[in-house]
Amino acid sequence: MSETAAPPASKSEQAYAAVKARIVDGTYSPGYRLVLAKIAEDLGVSVVPVREAIRRLEAEGLVQFERNVGATVSGIDPTEYLYTMQTLSIVEGAATALSAPLIGAADIARARAVNEEMRECLQHFDPVRFTRLNQDFHSVLFEHCPNPHILDLVHRGWNRLASLRSSTFRFVPGRAHDSVDEHEALLRLIETGAAAEEIEKAARLHRSATLDAYLAQAPKSNAGSLSAQ
C-alpha cells in the first residue's frame, strides 16, 4: 500500500495548518484580527477546532491572545523583530555548529549552487526569490542538526520572521550583497573543518549583521546586541 492513504488530517490539524500558512505567507498580516467564527466558516469547520489551533499558534508566538477579546496576529512592534532576530541568531548559530560536522561535500556543493543563484538575484533585483533561496541555503546547513529541539526553534524563528516581513522587514540591497559573501565564507569554514565554536560565531554574526542593517535604517534599539565583538 502506498502512502496515498494518508491519515485524513483532523479538522483541528487542518485549521492549524491553514491559519499558520496564512500568517506565514502574509495573508493575515500582523495586527490582523482572527475571528473564530469567520475562520471556522472559511474552513468549513466549527469554532472548536479553530480555537484550539489558534491557542497552539499562540504557544508558538505567532498570535497573541486576549481573554474575551480574541486573537490577533502578533508582531506589529518593531521590537518584536529585534527580539526574534536576536533569538534566531542564537539558535541558528547553534544549529549550524551542531550540523557542521555532518555536512558532506555534496551538501556544500548544493548550498554553494544556491548561493550563486542568490548572487544572480542581486543583479536582477529579485528580493522575493532571494529570500526564498536564502531559506534554502540555510536549510542545507541545518538539515543534519542532530538536536530536533533546536531545529524546531529555528523553524519557529523563521516562521515568525516570515509573518513579520510584510510590514517590518525590508530588503536592503547592500546588506544582501554582504550576505552572499558571508554565506561563502561560512561554507569555507565548514569545508575546512573549522572548530564548532568558530562556525557558531560566524553563523550568529551573519544573522546579527542583518539585524544591525535593519536597525541602522530604523534606529530604535534598546536591547543589547549579542554581536558584541
Partner DNA sequence: GTCATAGTTTTCGTATACGATTTCGTACTC
Partner DNA sequence: GAGTACGAAATCGTATACGAAAACTATGAC
The one-letter code for the residue type at 40 is: A
46 binds, among a copy of itself, DNA, none (CB under 5 to 8 A by kind): DNA
Instruction: Give the residue with the Cβ less far from DNA, 27 or 147.
Output: 27
Q: Does 45 bind DNA (CB under 7 A)?
A: yes
How far is the C-alpha of 115 from the C-alpha of 15, rounded, in Å?
35
Using DSSP's 3-state secondary structure scheme, residue 194 falls into coil
What's the grid cell of residue 219?
534606529
Q: Does 177 bind DNA (CB under 7 A)?
A: no
Could you tell me the smallest distance in angstroms from the CB atom of residue 8 to DNA?
7
Q: Does 160 bind DNA (CB under 7 A)?
A: no
Using DSSP's 3-state secondary structure scheme, residue 34 falls into strand
Place of cell 561535500: 105
Place of cell 490582523: 32
- Return the range that interacts with DNA (CB under 7 A); candidates 24-32, 44-52, 145-153, 183-191: 44-52
What's the grid cell of residue 228?
558584541
- Return the range that interacts with DNA (CB under 7 A); candidates 6-14, 20-28, 100-108, 122-130: 6-14
Instruction: Give yes or no for a contact between 81 and 169, defined as CB atoms under 8 angstroms apart.
Output: yes
Site residues (vs a copy of itself, CB under 8 A): 7, 10, 12-13, 48, 51-52, 55-56, 58-61, 67, 83-84, 86-87, 90-91, 94, 97-98, 101, 146-150, 153, 195-197, 222-224, 226, 228
Residue of 2, 4, 68, 222 interacting with DNA (CB under 7 A): 68
Instruction: Give yes or no for a contact between 163 and 153, defined as CB atoms under 8 angstroms apart.
Output: no
Could you tell me the smallest distance in angstroms from the CB atom of residue 56 to DNA?
12
DSSP code of 33? E
User: Residues touching DNA: how many (CB under 7 A)?
Assistant: 21
Could you tell me the smallest distance in angstroms from the CB atom of residue 208 to a copy of itself?
12
Backbone angles phi, psi at 130, to 5 degrees: -55, -45
Q: What angle do CA 139, 143, 144 make, to 5 degrees?
A: 145
Q: Which residues bind DNA (CB under 7 A)?
A: 7, 10-12, 34-38, 40, 45-49, 51, 67-71
